Amino acid sequence: MHMNTAAIARTISPKQHAVLDYGVAAGFLAVGFAMLGRHNRAAALALANGIMVLGMSMLTDYPGGVLPTISFKGHRSGDIAQAALAGIGPAVFGFAGDPEAKYFYGQALSEAGVIAATDWNAG
C-alpha cells in the first residue's frame, strides 16, 4: 500500500515538537533508570535514547533549545535516526523477544507519527 505523504496533515509546530521531544527524553530517562538492575540492556538502550533526544533538543533552534546550533529542519534527521535506534535497538542489544522490547517498538512507532505530522517548514 502506497501512502500519499502530501495528504498527511502537518500540524505539529516547532514549539509543540519541542514539548514532545523533552517529554520523550524524560520518558526514556525514567524508563532507563527504572530498568537499571533488573534489565540492564533495556536500561542502556533507554538511557542512550533519552540522552540522544535530550541532547538534540538542547541543540535545536526551537523554543527550549539551549545552544541552538541545529536547525529545526536538520533536527528531523536526528529524530529519524533516534526513532530507528529505538525500533532496532532491542535486536541490536539482544533483547528483541523480551517484554521490555515492546516499549521501544511502541515508542519508535509514535515517534514516526510525530515526524510525519510535524511541519518542518515552520521552523
pLDDT tens digits, 30-59: 999 999 999 999 999 999 999 999 999 999
Has residue 123 been placed in a domain? no
Name residue, grid cell 525514567: 30
Tell whether 94 is covered by a domain: yes
With a cut of 60, say whether residue 18 has pLDDT above it: yes
Enclosing domain of residue 26: 11-117
Total structural domains within the chain: 1
Residue 64 is assigned to a structural domain of this protein: yes
Q: Does residue 1 lie in a domain region?
A: no
Is residue 60 assigned to a domain? yes
The verdict on residue 4 lying in a domain is no
Beta bridge partners of 70: 60
Give pLDDT, residue 2: 57
- pLDDT, tens digit (0-9, with 9 covering 90-100), for 81-118: 999 999 999 999 999 999 999 999 999 999 999 999 99
Distances (CA, A) of 92 to 52, 79, 84, 101: 17, 19, 11, 11
The predicted pLDDT at position 123 comes to: 80
